[in-house]
Structure 1
């Protein structure tokens, strides 16, 4: 009912009058701004360098930028060739390697083989002295037996078995340096069915746009592969399951460069069909809600215009998008359309009370505008909380989302009323015909009794019990970790409460080829993923790092292997002792006639005699082709000249907990004081930090976890503060956040029972849900404060609340069809949260409002009054229907 004694604020009334009296001017300004911002939107580009999204002052970033400057990039682009014919694989690898090396614009280096002759000849210096002595004993016993039996005058009176040369145990023990076999020059697997080509592009793996473009070019080259002498007619096929043969070689891409591209573009590619599906669902829901085309077109066009203006603002303030903010448009359209929905529903209500179009539009702006403004401010502030993040992807996302939400909210309360007012000027009856009208809900039923929320006490009691039980399900009742890699039993779920899944594999698309190939390489080559690196200025420091990591391996259980320039230098004490054995051995073989040995032994005799010539050498004796991989490039900045020590993890870095452990153990590698040959201290005792993708991702993971927790706390404080500022009543402020708090508590309980987990992606949904969830209570309570009973308030704005929630939920529900599991989890959590807040609004909040209404009637002693007491409000909204 109308309450003319409640005068609206002057600003609200002036704003509403402007929309009604100057609609043409308002629309002209909006369209002019839209045109300018549309031009700015076309100029927007996406910065695909992920390193730029992290604070450049972080030690992890500083160190990785040093490594990039030293060697040109972190990790490699791996090209794996698979087939069951070893000769074909090697010939194809040689041919491709030669081709790739000619592409100096894109390729810094290609490695598919490394000559092992130097290591073979000097391997005797690396072997433990007792093993070398044992090897000598076995070989000499076999050799004497062979020479004796090959002697033409050899006569055996009593038959004896020839001495067997069994060296497999020693050969296997010393057949590799690190994990690189010294039996073969090629990077070939132990089963001889895969050759690995390591490509170092001219840029770092963080520049995923360039990497994607290069991989696409490389695919075209491989598709047109012409064959090679000795392997004519060989066809290359990109396949991650096929085992090739003499005529077909299967290939695939992986490594840090490829997985970075896949991780980033998997989200973008998943969002393309999802966006269309979400827009279609939103369009359908609004049409079903309005049951007319025109109001849907009005709010959708207004939302699109507001989104474009936000993008123009982005171009002016930030200048570009990143891989996180690139999804901004779709998110804002899903959130922003709610303001238009609430305005149209309120206008229909005002028209249904018999008001002329101009008065109806004005009152709709005034009455629906206040809760819409508060909702926009609160939601924007919830996004702004993310600006405190060290991760620029989140901070920029929070800034732009907050500004965009406010822009769209204000614009829809300008575009929609101005457009309707302009239509009304042409024909006063057209607004009513085009958007429809809704009769004010009856205050009393057919028997003359007040329409009430039925049994509010019982509803509150049931709601309290349900929420309490669901909250109990969220609590961790046991310290035992409940597995997240398999479905937990109901008992385990209740014991474990709401859990956080640290496994990043659960976020990526199922069967992602690069990850699948990475796992295959790990099994075939017995190696882990790309290494991280530790910088040292001098060789002495590099030696100290190598000794610390290799001699104290128990301190670093997450490290699999350490590869340094000192990996190719034999330990001095061992080399000296072995040299003595080799010299004695050589003297014993002076009189041995090689031609007297069996033919198969004669072929190996040459290499064996070279091995006996091995003499100790220091780091300066390491060949250039070995040492180059640890030394800075010629173009490296002088302050970054030095050496790198590479560390390979022994744990699965897809497991977030293990990745954090690995990062912790390699973030403080303690080295003692380092002195030069004169005794001068050249490096003090210090802790050194490894650099690479793992430390960066570990820091980012901690940022996400911290941001998620802080965002929830700060957003909660912000919401309570703004609600109290709006209502000037603790009771009403707390009542208005009931849908939010109770709904989220129910959401976490349902997630626990359904075996759904929080993760590094969906945790960011929590502050977003907090920001959006405020609208339910705001619109219902503001309608209640206009003097209507709770049931009338519910029937007046309930349809708008439900429609706005369903449009937003449909946008998130579309994520459930995405191939990216992280997006699916975001969609699932958002949908559960939105639906639970909506249900709570129509049950618990409605019951609370009925209790407040009944208490007001008892205190006033006037059952006929429909106006809430002044104690429950400060500012009265404008004319109400």
Structure 2
């Protein structure tokens, strides 16, 4: 290779050029100890890889909010008080209910032995509730039973004392008709909890277990999933029934499957992106030598960024989960530009030392500008409260800076080390500045046409931006439900067995003690039980949702006790007029059948609009007081009176009445109220917190899609805090983070976008010190974003909390292309546009392509939100490339022409 002379117009070129300042220092450092630099870099990469292996992925939406966010603080408080609130369900299916019960009993016993299970529910003994059935009846029903007893006894006494017994009703018509079957049917005393979670007449049974850790702890959930499957296999379903099928259902199964799918998608997408990057680099540089030269520093920087994330965050959130593949696409830009320029300088006859100096002094500057502007654009995401922005931005900032340093230092050292054993032969190129320069004087018709077309498309996109919607339903951003009809049917069976509402995670209200739990339970249960038209009467507002059925007719006034002529079941009565105690109890029963006065007073604290919302949204209420009957003292007074009256008249009752009464005498033996401590263990264990205290929370379930922002915000605003006599009580739910996330993004978005644009303008101005060329960079990015907006409207796409992150990224990354082109143009001078586009334009095309490849790894995932981020980034970067290759050269050409005209 001939030894060229220094270029007088470009003193940094040529082997004889004197290396001074920072360029000389860096060049001397690299060329003096290249092997040491490579060894240290490889050691850093190995250590970073080991650190990156500890990095996990948190799929919870709460991971996208800071720890001090109100919903996260409440979730942490609930977790500290109650522990895990998600259940693991094992569904057993076979044609035989007996076989299902036998298998479920053995499986439940085996699961109870595990240390990672707080409790296991399978058989729920209902005997306690049968023994206390009359306490769980309504006070009005008990008074009706008492009236039936009084009326029957009075009728029998009248017959016995009548002088004309033949005129009295027949003896059969004065029977009590109070056998157990009749009472349980007539007064709904059979409504105690069923003994098993079952559906389809026992052909489907469910074992319900509460693990000690949440379903979002993926690594432990996977281990639990495998262990429970092993226990199922050891219990041998086929031995109980050849057609028995057993599987794990519920959130643990769902989260484990989604985590495995996401991990597979990340690995597959990253591998595909990495393979495409290898092929792209090899194809561009027309050889395999460039592959290790570019990718070795790149992998070191990517692993370093992941190790940093593992040390600082411990885990990635759902948005930053693909940071590795994205980091590959971003970081490869610097190595590509540096290696391409180094190769070109070698082709012009420079030595490796001079090629390194020239590359650092020229392309290194524009690369530094692009790296710093992109890095700080990412870092500005840390201004956001939304961790989807913050974590992605900080990790990308570290990765970009390390990638740039690796491209400046490690890549040249690696070139020197590799060249010592595998000399690099490049095709010769003409000396720098020897290309033919274009004449700026002719009217740039093509440039004017291209710029006008680009501006026109930008204006068209600007007119469409208001039409871009926002996707508030997170169900549409999740993994699509591709279950078969048979799988959906199985899910419906499982949910029917455990309760369709209760099979989902609840809203939890933490209370201070049992008294506050009881007060809160009463008011929420009243809201739930009142009809919509009754709430409308209280609030004075029309109901949001009409009642499905008309209200039952008001009962007619009841006459004095007598026996009906035709049907003894139509026995009508009223309380004894000479007993004021029971007259008062009847009034109390009537008051509580409508709305207890103290509950009505509590509901009055809520604004009418809010109370109507609460009524419309509340689907179910559960607390320890679901199992504690109300008005127990009043009910016990009625039960004692019934028992006393029957005991006094037992000798005069008919044999049939005596036989029937014997079936429910045990119900009349209840003589003390039911307290929390009296409840069966299988009830209390469900309401025991981590401190061993019982009943200090109320669980709520709501109607409607809780993953929809609009609906979740309605629920959040209606139930955020609930009023009690001792002050407000906060509510918490996993889906409360949804409105907080969207509201946070709405507040962060303008701040982040403005800050990123500020970095873009500042970086361009500091590099070029010219307002016009700074505006060229700004125009390039703005037009690309406006074209993207028009495409969104054309395709019917919406912004969402995932693809929204691409917008500040596009601003930061999109300016790189124009920075490189303008910087190389300033280096080569007027008339060099064709040369610049041929050399730097090719590198710009390659770097954009590699960035698109990095983001394209998201296109292979099932998660629709991440896929939308991938599409937005890929198309946006493509538009940035097109804008850089069309708008910037057109603007520079027109600028040349205007300058020539002025001269």
Same fold, TM exceeding 0.5? yes
Partner of 1:734: 775
Partner of 1:768: 809
Partner of 1:623: 679
Partner of 1:500: 471
Cα shift readout 1:705-750 (whole Å, capped 9, x = no counterpart): 5445543332222222222222223322221133322212222221
Q: How far is the alpha carbon of 1:511 from its aligned partner?
A: 3.0
Any residues of structure 2 matched to 1:46-125 within 5 Å, and which?
Answer: 46=55, 55-104=66-115, 106-125=116-135
Instruction: Name the CA distance, whole Å, in 1 between partners of 2:777 and 2:728.
Output: 53
Give 3-state SS (helix, strand or coil) of 1:430's partner.
coil
Any residues of structure 2 matched to 1:240-639 within 5 Å, and which?
Answer: 247-255=243-251, 257-311=252-306, 313=308, 318=312, 320-323=314-317, 327-390=322-385, 395-422=390-417, 430-432=424-426, 455-476=446-467, 497-511=468-482, 521-522=494-495, 525-528=499-502, 529-553=504-528, 554-556=612-614, 557-572=616-631, 576=634, 580=638, 583-584=641-642, 587=645, 590=650, 596=656, 608-614=664-670, 617=673, 619-620=675-676, 622-625=678-681, 626-634=683-691
Partner of 2:732: 691
Partner of 1:820: 863
- Taking structure 2 as the reference length, the TM-score comes to 0.76
Q: How far is the alpha carbon of 1:575 from its aligned partner?
A: 6.8
Q: How far is the alpha carbon of 1:175 from its aligned partner?
A: 7.6
Q: Is the 8 A contact 2:90 2:249 kept in 1?
A: yes
Q: For structure 1, which segment, 346-355 or 203-212, has the greater mean C-alpha deviation from structure 2 after superposition?
A: 346-355
Partner of 1:32: 40
Structure number with greater Rg is 2
Cα shift readout 1:160-184 (whole Å, capped 9, x = no counterpart): xxx99999999699588xxxx6362
Any residues of structure 2 matched to 1:740-755 within 5 Å, and which?
Answer: 740-755=781-796
Q: Is the 8 A contact 1:271 1:818 kept in 2?
A: yes
Q: Is the 8 A contact 1:471 1:749 kept in 2?
A: yes
Instruction: Name the CA distance, whole Å, in 2 between partners of 1:16 and 1:606.
Output: 107
Instruction: Name the CA distance, whole Å, in 2 between partners of 1:167 and 1:64.
Output: 47
**2:278 is the counterpart of 1:222:** no
Q: Is the 8 A contact 2:716 2:736 kept in 1?
A: yes
Instruction: Name the CA distance, whole Å, in 1 between partners of 2:890 and 2:739.
Output: 47
Instruction: Name the CA distance, whole Å, in 1 between partners of 2:192 and 2:125.
Output: 9
Give 3-state SS (helix, strand or coil) of 1:735's partner.
helix
Q: How far is the alpha carbon of 1:818 from its aligned partner?
A: 1.9
Q: How far is the alpha carbon of 1:437 from its aligned partner?
A: 5.8
Q: How far is the alpha carbon of 1:471 from its aligned partner?
A: 2.8
Q: How far is the alpha carbon of 1:804 from its aligned partner?
A: 0.9
Cα shift readout 1:341-397 (whole Å, capped 9, x = no counterpart): 112222344345454554333222221111111111111112212323446675444
Instruction: Name the CA distance, whole Å, in 2 between partners of 1:13 and 1:816.
Output: 46
Extract unaligned runs of 5+ from structure 2: 155-169, 171-176, 529-611
Instruction: Name the CA distance, whole Å, in 1 between partners of 2:368 and 2:623.
Output: 62
Cα shift readout 1:815-853 (whole Å, capped 9, x = no counterpart): 222233233222111111111111222222322222222
Instruction: Name the CA distance, whole Å, in 2 between partners of 1:221 and 1:198.
Output: 15
Give 3-state SS (helix, strand or coil) of 1:196's partner.
strand
Instruction: Name the CA distance, whole Å, in 2 between partners of 1:800 and 1:318.
Output: 34
**2:883 is the counterpart of 1:840:** yes
**2:840 is the counterpart of 1:797:** yes
- Taking structure 1 as the reference length, the TM-score comes to 0.78
User: CA distance change for structure 1 residues 453 and 262 in 2, over 3 Å: closer, same or farther?
Assistant: farther
User: CA distance change for structure 1 residues 706 and 590 in 2, over 3 Å: closer, same or farther?
Assistant: farther
User: CA distance change for structure 1 residues 82 and 728 in 2, over 3 Å: closer, same or farther?
Assistant: farther
Instruction: Name the CA distance, whole Å, in 2 between partners of 1:192 and 1:473.
Output: 58
Q: Is the 8 A contact 1:142 1:164 kept in 2?
A: no
Give 3-state SS (helix, strand or coil) of 1:646's partner.
strand
Instruction: Name the CA distance, whole Å, in 2 between partners of 1:796 and 1:197.
Output: 68
Instruction: Name the CA distance, whole Å, in 1 between partners of 2:481 and 2:761.
Output: 41
Q: Is the 8 A contact 1:507 1:820 kept in 2?
A: yes
Extract unaligned runs of 5+ from structure 1: 145-155, 157-162, 236-246, 477-496, 674-685, 862-881
Q: Is the 8 A contact 1:532 1:647 kept in 2?
A: yes
Aligned length: 779
Q: Is the 8 A contact 2:454 2:783 kept in 1?
A: no
User: CA distance change for structure 1 residues 52 and 735 in 2, over 3 Å: closer, same or farther?
Assistant: closer
Give 3-state SS (helix, strand or coil) of 1:839's partner.
helix
**2:219 is the counterpart of 1:209:** yes
